[in-house]
Each structure stands twice: as C-alpha cells, then as structure tokens.
Amino acid sequence: MGNTVHLLDFSDLIKDIEQSYNEVVEWRRHLHQHPELSFQEYETSKFIAEKLEQFGITEIQRNVGGTGLVAKIEGAQPGKTIAFRADFDALPIQDLKTVPYASKNKGVSHACGHDGHTAALLGFAKNIVKYKHLLKGNILFIFQHAEEQPPGGAKDMIAEHILDDVDYVFGAHLDSSLDVGKVAVGSGYKMAAVDHFKIHLKGLGGHGARPHEAIDALVGGAELVGSLQKIVSRNIDPLQAAVVTVGQFHSGSAFNVIAETAFIEGTVRTYDETIRHFVKERIEQITKGISLAHNLQYEIEYLLGYPALYNDEQQTEKVKQALKDGFGVEAVVELQPSMGAEDFAYFLLEKPGTYFKVGSKNERTETQFPHHHGRFDIDENVLVNIQKAFAYITYAYLIS
C-alpha cells in the first residue's frame, strides 16, 4: 500500500471517520425528522449545500437537474476522477417509530435509508477534504434527488453533463436484511428495470338482470388480469428473469349493475432489454385481443422506467478487493440479484462502476424491518461503514 507516509495519513483518515460518528448521526437524525418527497427536497438540498460550504469545499453546483447538488475536490496530483452518489428523497409513508428523531412531516418518512446515505457522504466529504494532498486525481460528490419517483433525478442530473469528466462512479445503499459490519458486492445485473402500465377498459353499463343489453368491462378486465399472468409462465424462457404484477383492479359499483369501466394497473420487472420490450408488446397484444373479444374500448399507458442496473465486472472486482483489504475477507459477501429497481442504473450506463450494499441490521428488532416499512430504522454504525467503504475505494483508485 503506497509509501509509509501515505499509509499513516490514510490510517488517520479512518480514525477521523470513526471519531465523526456522533456528528454524522446528528445529521442523519436531522434529515430523518425533516423528510421531503421526491422533487420537493428544497430544504434538504439547502442543508447539504450549507454543510459542504462549512467543510471548506468551494466547488459546489446547486439545483442540478432539479434539487440535486454536485461538489468536487481536486487532489494534489493529476489522475482519474471518481464519483460517489447518495440519494436524499423520502417516501409517502407515515413514520410509525416512537423515537425522538421520528419524522415531523405527517405521512412522509425516510423509510429507505436515504437520510443515512446523505449523512454518510457528507461525513466522507468532510473527512477526506483534509487529506486531499494524498489524492492522485479528483472526487465528485453527487447528492441526487428523487430516486424513489420515476422518472427519477439521475437522468436530469446526467443531462447537465456532471459525468463528462468522471472515470468511475460508485453508489452504496444501506441494507436492513444484512448484518451491520457486512458489505455485499457483486458484478453483472443486480437490480431490475422497472416499468409501469395502466389499462383503461370501457364497455356499456346495464342492469345485472339483462347482461345481453350491456358490455361488461368487469368480465373482460378479469380475463385480462388472468391472461397477463401467463406472459411470464408461457412466453418467457424459464432461465430468464421477468415479473408481471397487477397491483390494482377496479371495476363495478353495485351488486346488480354491470360495470361499464375497468381499471388495471401494474408493474413489469426485467433484466434483459429484449425481454423488457417483448413483455410490453405482449401486454399490448393481449389487451387488444381481449378487448376485441369482449367488444370493449381500451387505452394503455405504459411508462418505461429505470433501466436494469449492471455492475461492471472489472470495477466490481477492484472494489471487492479494496473492501476485503479494508473490512476483512469475512465481511464481504456476494450481492444477490433483486427485482427491485434503482435509478443509479443510469449512472452505470454512462460510466463503469459498481453499486453495493452495506449492512444496517443488528440484533434489535427495530433495525430488522424491511425497507419501505413505517417502522424502518438502522444501526447507525452503518454510517461509519459507508464512509469507510468510500475511503477504501478512494485508496484503491486515487492513493495506492
């Protein structure tokens, strides 16, 4: 690992990260008490900018693609530029916890850990800026808004050319299914593309005793719901991944009235782009065919959302080794694929890098609730571990 001076200085950086625990926890709890929904994160964005200024970081871009922010520190020597991203939006979920730092915004909470991501990246920025003399290259800190709500904030930030000079990009997500102290890393497809469809059917309402005089949208809709479930089981290679889920089906108003309209809403999750577009085409074909069979009018709204998240093999292996060197071999586990979605995928379409998860669960029940649950909470030691992970990656790319 580099020369002795750099090794000693880097050791001091790790100590600084450990000693900043209370301050970073304070930031996380402040953000937790004041959550803001996607595309509405004005006070959160202001809070981040004020902290970065206090750290002495002068190169700050505000209102990037909306409420996003980008900060940069330049190393003492020329070299590559790496980027770290944290998201900072909250969810429309009531905070059910009875803790002093519970959300003060009714119906809104940080039930996914984005407050932790932001606090940890702020902590890393504050700590690493004191050691920029070690850097052979530059670090970009990306604070991204609106991860939870498609079309998301990543695309608009990228559209403002924030990645033009970046060589590699990295993102971390705390994970309540993973023990604190563990880090999950892996290459290839790790998160799915997420698409959203709405189908409106229109027939002709009538009396329940005279069905021949009506056009029943409920019966057609029910057949459509069942048929959509067969796309994966009968049209997709069993060795490929795909999910079609109907989350809503609304039709009818009374027991003796034939429904004139039906509404179906759902999501599609895939990895492969060819399969992604095939499923969309099949949904459209099946809807058209069943509507024709039942003499219904139909309308489809189909949103292609976030793409699948693909971790670059070479950079993932480099990060995995850096984290093993830092945390120990036993602490690093394989990141399992998920059909969840994450708009960090847009960053990885532009630049090579990797997205990994850091454990936030301990023996307390309070830390074991799933993401997007009203009682979601974390072991706040994960805030230190995220910072350390960023430090070990920085060492591998810009110091050693």
3 state SS of 80: strand
Q: Catalytic: 89?
A: yes
Beta-carbon contacts of residue 184 (< 8 Å; ≥ 6 apart): 175, 178, 332, 333, 334, 335, 336, 356, 357, 358, 359
3 state SS of 45: helix
Distance (Å, whole) CA 117 – CA 65: 19
CA atoms within 13 A on the CB side of 18: 6
Catalytic: which of 147, 148, 342, 377?
A: 147
Write out the two tokens for 11: 């050791």
Q: In angstroms, how far apart are the furthest CA atoms of the chain?
A: 89
Distance (Å, whole) CA 16 – CA 10: 10
Distance (Å, whole) CA 214 – CA 258: 7
Write out the two tokens for 277: 């577009």
Instruction: Give the containing element (helix H, strand E) for 107.
Output: none
Distance (Å, whole) CA 395 – CA 392: 5
Catalytic: which of 36, 87, 89, 379?
A: 89
CA distances from 156 to 47, 141, 161 (A): 21, 16, 9
Written as one string, the DSSP assignment of 318-346 is: HHHHHHHHHH-GGGEEEPPP-S---TTHH
Write out the two tokens for 99: 């803790």
Give me the amino acid identity at 222. Answer: A
> Is the omega angle on the peptide bond into residue 78 within 30 degrees of 0, that is, cis?
no
β-bridge pairing 297-304 and 332-334: unpaired
Write out the catalytic residue numbers: 89, 147
